[in-house]
């Protein structure tokens, strides 16, 4: 068994606010191999962005607190024990991040060319001239037409899709092993979203980059991710291969997420599965299953104790008391979607 | 479908904004359509295509540049006095951002009750409270919520308050401007199901403006697709999905991901890939607005603007090179 590229163990992140301690991430664990794509899926406030940011050590401490039992191992090394120099190399060279709002992530007072050049020069011993040349190649690679003219433009002169392309160029500038993409297409129109997803796929394959894709839209990752982890209220409630998650969801929340969005290929009169209520307040998370107050299969034990992890296929786990019933690996009470086996 | 009488007729509506030094932003440029009583017309398009401007101009919130909007046979932009007052009661709007569109200094009961007071729909305080409770029930909120302020609510709850506010005055026509795009998926389903239920119970007519075609298809009877200020296609929503005739509609549909790996893999093979990005609506060039990105464009498309024409069976398309399937 070779060393995992990234191993996250029991990540816990809290924010100290005036109202108290918000437990944004409450014990998240996952692993990632070289070249693999993992999607972290969840609704706003479920802790997916906080998880992503803590993989780059971007959470501001305080108010954030990374609990001491958390481990984030990149190629076996804990990134929370990196010194400043090692962290500097880790960020940008080993791992890179793309943000949702490119306008806010880019520096509005620098031309985009200079920003990408800066990224290159920070990590590589290049002459300025060579760096500029390489940036032009990069810009062309990410599908920016007329890179010579764009080089001297400011972020506000570009469209949203173009800005996201610049961010991707910056992220891939030093050929990182790991790319974290935090809702990279959420702010974009669908036709542009499709272009950006294509571009990310292409670059990932070319560089064998591992990708963590954060999104709330299951459709976006349907054909992008090999593995999917579904987050709810600061925990991963279900994880598995993409096919398992889409075709045999085990956790009621995952099932609901799939049923709540209308699909283009379904008849219009199909009613959307709607779930009453809202996610729990993480200032005061419930002692039991975080989803129990909205779950239609809620049992007494769900209110009291957090469910253990149940294993289905080798690559499929769900945290749900439904599977503690005496039938081993019982089928979910909800109907399976499509069984392709 | 179209047996029901026409409630709202939009003919050749134009709304231009002057951007200074003689330039015009043609947000809505000569569009025509009709909304029938009791139906939901979905208006879709990408950001900046003019769909919100269209909704607002129909409501009389913007002065039109040209054309005509007739609500029950009356020109909306020529209404005055009593007639205008009654139109304002009859046609209501629900906005995208439930954080910005509700007054943070008013309690929920004041927000909902304001319309009741303005239109003298209740006789006394008991009536008013009873009506507010009734509306809260209708949108599935609790009576205790009446005395709270907006900041105490989540996005989905706020949108419900916005819906209760709009319904307070017994409207018959609602313009829903991206009512769910600020909400999470599980909450979106709640609000959409609520909107559908209310429509059935009260016979409401909706103009549903959104960019999410899958959701629009789900909620609408007919769908109109806009591109850069022009309508490119209108038809029944099932028909639009099964047989899109305008290349833009086809491309838009094929770009929407479906949460199913096998289906999605097949669709990605067939996807119509658009190059380039949307043009600026400021002083657009003559010809079809989509010509620059269209894989089927010819010289004709760059010279002449295609008219929206009926292809039979209520399927209207504005294109010289329609797709036939």
What ipTM does this complex have?
0.78
Q: Supply the pLDDT for residue A302.
A: 85
Q: Which residues of chain A have pLDDT under 70?
A: 1-2, 268, 325-341
**Which residues of chain B neighbour A248 with C-beta distances below 8 Å?**
none
Q: Supply the pLDDT for residue A341.
A: 37
CATH match for A6-225 among 3.40.50.620, 3.40.47.10, 3.40.50.300, 3.40.640.10: 3.40.50.300
**Which residues of chain A neighbour B251 with C-beta distances below 8 Å?**
191
Q: Supply the pLDDT for residue B190.
A: 84
Is residue B264 within 8 angstroms of chain A, CB to CB?
yes
Q: Is the dihedral of CA B176, A274, B185, B45 positive or negative?
A: negative
Is residue B100 within 8 angstroms of chain A, CB to CB?
no
Verify whether the Cβ–Cβ distance A262 to B215 is below 8 Å. yes
Verify whether the Cβ–Cβ distance B156 to A278 is below 8 Å. yes
Q: Supply the pLDDT for residue A328.
A: 47
**Which residues of chain B neighbour A274 with C-beta distances below 8 Å?**
186, 189-190, 192-193
- Comparing CB atoms, the residue among B186, B217, B278 nearest residue A260 is B186
Q: Supply the pLDDT for residue A165.
A: 86
Measured CA distances, A41 to A56, A220, A236 (Å): 19, 10, 9
Closest Cα in chain B, distance from residue A307 (Å): 22
Please tell me whether residue A283 adopts helix, strand or coil conformation.
coil
Q: What is the DSSP string of B13-62?
A: EEEEEEEETTEEEEEEEEEEEEEETT-EEEEE--TTSSHHHHHHHHTTSS
**Which residues of chain A neighbour B278 with C-beta distances below 8 Å?**
159, 189
Tell me the percentage of chain A whose pLDDT exceeds 90: 19
For chain A, strand residue ranges (E) read 6-17, 20-32, 37-41, 64-66, 71-74, 77-78, 95-98, 178-182, 210-215, 227-232, 235-241, 309-311, 317-319
Q: Supply the pLDDT for residue A2.
A: 59
Where are the domain boundaries for CATH 3.40.50.300 in chain A?
6-225
B6-317: what CATH class? alpha beta
Q: Supply the pLDDT for residue B87.
A: 92
Verify whether the Cβ–Cβ distance B259 to A193 is below 8 Å. no
Verify whether the Cβ–Cβ distance A263 to B192 is below 8 Å. no
Q: Which residue of A has its CA nearest to B258?
A: A219
Is residue B121 within 8 angstroms of chain A, CB to CB?
no
- Comparing CB atoms, the residue among A189, A219, A276 nearest residue B257 is A219
- Comparing CB atoms, the residue among B154, B251, B259 nearest residue A218 is B259
- Comparing CB atoms, the residue among A189, A272, A273 nearest residue B211 is A189
Q: Supply the pLDDT for residue B45.
A: 87
Residue among A301, A319, A299 at smallest CA distance from A309: A319
**A-interface mutation test, from B206, B214, B250, B261, most A Cβ less than 10 A away:** B261
Verify whether the Cβ–Cβ distance B186 to A44 is below 8 Å. no
Sketch the domain layout of chain B as residue ranges.
6-317
Q: Which residue of B has its CA nearest to A158?
A: B277
Residue B84's Cβ-count burial label (10 Å; 0-12, 13-18, 19+) is middle
Is residue B259 within 8 angstroms of chain A, CB to CB?
yes
Q: Supply the pLDDT for residue B149.
A: 92
Verify whether the Cβ–Cβ distance A274 to B190 is below 8 Å. yes
Q: Which residues of chain B have pLDDT under 70?
A: 1-3, 325
Verify whether the Cβ–Cβ distance B260 to A192 is below 8 Å. no
Closest Cα in chain A, distance from residue B263 (Å): 9
């Amino acid at each position: 068994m070779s060393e995992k590229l990234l191993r996250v163990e029991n990540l816990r992140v809290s924010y100290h606010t005036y109202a108290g301690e918000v437990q944004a991430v409450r014990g998240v664990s996952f692993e990632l191999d070289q070249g693999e794509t993992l999607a972290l899926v969840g609704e706003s406030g479920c802790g997916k962005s906080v998880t992503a940011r803590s993989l780059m050590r971007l959470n501001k401490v305080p108010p954030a607190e990374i609990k001491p039992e958390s481990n984030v191992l990149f190629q076996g090394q804990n990134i929370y024990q990196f010194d400043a120099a090692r962290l500097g190399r880790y960020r940008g060279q080993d791992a890179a991040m793309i943000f949702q709002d490119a306008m806010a992530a880019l520096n509005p007072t620098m031309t985009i060319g200079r920003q990408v050049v800066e990224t290159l020069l920070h990590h590589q011993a290049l002459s300025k001239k060579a760096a500029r040349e390489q940036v032009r190649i990069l810009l062309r690679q990410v599908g920016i037409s007329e890179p010579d003219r764009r080089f001297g433009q400011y972020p506000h002169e570009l469209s949203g899709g173009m800005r996201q392309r610049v961010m991707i160029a910056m992220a891939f500038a030093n050929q990182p092993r790991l790319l974290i993409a935090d809702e990279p297409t959420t702010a974009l129109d669908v036709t542009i979203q499709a272009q950006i997803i294509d571009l990310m796929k292409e670059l990932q394959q070319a560089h064998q980059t591992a990708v963590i894709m954060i999104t709330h839209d299951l459709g976006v990752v349907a054909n992008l991710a090999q593995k999917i982890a579904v987050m709810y209220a600061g925990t991963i409630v279900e994880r598995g291969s993409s096919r398992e998650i889409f075709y045999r969801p085990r956790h009621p929340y995952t099932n609901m997420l799939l049923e709540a969005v209308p699909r283009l290929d379904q008849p219009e009169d199909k009613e959307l599965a709607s779930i009453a209520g809202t996610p729990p307040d993480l200032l005061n998370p419930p002692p039991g299953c975080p989803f129990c107050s909205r779950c239609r299969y809620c049992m007494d034990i769900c209110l009291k104790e957090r469910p253990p992890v149940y294993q289905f296929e080798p690559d499929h786990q769900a945290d749900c008391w439904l599977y503690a019933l005496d039938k081993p690996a019982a089928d979910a009470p909800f109907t399976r979607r499509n069984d392709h086996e | 479908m179209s047996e029901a009488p026409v409630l709202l007729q939009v003919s050749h509506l134009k709304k231009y904004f002057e951007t200074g030094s003689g330039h015009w932003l043609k947000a809505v440029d000569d569009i025509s359509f009709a909304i029938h009583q009791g139906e939901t017309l979905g208006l879709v398009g990408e950001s900046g295509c003019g769909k919100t401007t269209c909704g607002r101009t129909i409501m009389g919130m913007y002065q039109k540049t040209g054309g005509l909007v007739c609500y029950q046979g009356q020109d909306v932009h020529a209404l005055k006095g009593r007639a205008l007052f009654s139109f304002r009661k009859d046609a209501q709007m629900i906005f995208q951002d439930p954080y910005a569109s509700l007054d943070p200094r008013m309690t929920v009961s004041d927000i909902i009750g304001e319309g009741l007071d303005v239109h003298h729909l209740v006789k006394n305080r008991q009536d008013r409270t009873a009506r507010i409770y009734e509306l809260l029930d209708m949108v599935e909120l609790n009576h205790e919520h009446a005395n709270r302020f907006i900041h105490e609510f989540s996005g989905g709850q706020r949108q419900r308050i916005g819906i209760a506010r709009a319904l307070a005055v017994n409207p018959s026509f609602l313009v829903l401007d991206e009512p769910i795009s600020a909400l999470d998926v599980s909450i979106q389903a709640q609000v959409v199901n609520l909107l559908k239920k209310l429509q059935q119970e009260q016979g409401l007519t909706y103009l549903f403006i959104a960019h999410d075609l899958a959701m629009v298809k789900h909620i609408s009877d007919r769908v109109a697709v806009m591109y850069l200020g022009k309508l490119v296609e209108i038809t029944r929503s099932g028909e639009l999905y099964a047989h899109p005739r305008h290349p833009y509609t086809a491309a838009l549909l094929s770009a929407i991901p479906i949460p199913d790996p096998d289906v999605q893999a097949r669709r990605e093979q067939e996807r119509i890939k658009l190059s380039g990005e949307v043009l600026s609506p400021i002083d657009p060039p003559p010809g079809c607005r989509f010509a620059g990105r269209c894989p089927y464009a010819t010289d004709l498309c760059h010279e002449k603007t295609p008219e929206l024409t009926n292809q039979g069976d209520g399927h209207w398309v504005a294109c010289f090179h329609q797709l036939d399937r």
